[in-house]
């Protein structure tokens, strides 16, 4: 029997647990997140009552490993606690020799799952094509931050931080290098 770990987005996208042959697993926060939509909520509650979907709590060691991997990739600050718990559950199931699949349209969850070598199934999107490692930076002063930097604003100028995929090929000059070069040219012109 296949095991699928279900994100809230799976239910919002129309996943029907009664038409699936796989055993479904969620965390309690998924239940909380879908209380808004009564049809989806009723369907989920019936699936839990009938044993089609199980609510599980991840073990702390798998939560820590998940956070470590998400930090390494630069996805930790965009993943919710629900996302991290679902990834931890999938990692725990994998360690038990099972082959879980995460049903989610969240690209950051897919990225971390890909790094963990856990399959994912997107429902409403195409899903990611390759592993991404992110760089956090300030778009104003170009200061780079570690992926586990807790604040969302630059410690130097107070601008909201952004992220971009790390480039494998550093042959192209960065925007900062281009601006520095332009500043030198502008100074030479003024003289």
pLDDT tens digit sequence for 63-90: 999 999 998 888 888 899 999 999 999 9
- pTM recorded for the entire structure: 0.72
The pLDDT of residue 181: 58
List the domain boundaries for the chain: 3-121, 134-190
Among the listed residues 127, 136, 88, 135, the one whose alpha carbon sits nearest the alpha carbon of residue 108: 127
Per-residue pLDDT for 171 more than 70?
no
DSSP per-residue string spanning 76-139: TTTS-HHHHHHHHHHHHHHHTT--EEEE---HHHHHHHHHTT-EEE-SSS---SS---EEEE-T
Among the listed residues 20, 1, 3, the one whose alpha carbon sits nearest the alpha carbon of residue 118: 3
- The alpha carbon of residue 79 and the mean position of all alpha carbons in its chain are separated, in whole angstroms, by 5
Per-residue pLDDT for 26 more than 50?
yes
**Superfamily holding 3-121:** 5'-nuclease (3.40.50.1010)
Dist. CA 4–CA 51, nearest whole Å: 14
Mean pLDDT across the chain: 83
């Amino acid at each position: 029997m296949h095991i699928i770990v279900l994100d809230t987005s799976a239910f919002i996208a129309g996943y029907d647990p009664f038409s699936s042959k796989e055993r479904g697993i969620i965390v309690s926060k998924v239940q909380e997140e879908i209380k808004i939509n009564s049809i989806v909520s009723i369907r989920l509650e019936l699936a839990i009552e009938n044993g089609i979907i199980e609510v599980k709590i991840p073990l702390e060691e798998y939560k820590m490993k998940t956070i470590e991997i998400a930090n390494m990739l630069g996805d930790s600050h965009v993943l919710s606690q629900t996302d991290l718990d679902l990834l931890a559950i999938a990692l725990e199931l994998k360690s038990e020799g099972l082959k879980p699949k995460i049903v989610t349209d969240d690209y950051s969850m897919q990225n971390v799952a890909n790094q963990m070598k856990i399959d994912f199934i997107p429902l409403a999107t195409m899903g990611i094509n390759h592993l991404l490692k992110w760089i956090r930076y300030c778009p104003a002063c170009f200061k780079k931050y570690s992926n586990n930097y807790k604040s969302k604003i630059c410690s130097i100028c107070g601008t909201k931080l952004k992220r971009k995929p790390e480039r494998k090929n550093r042959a192209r000059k960065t925007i900062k290098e281009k601006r520095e070069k332009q500043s030198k040219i502008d100074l030479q012109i003024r003289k």
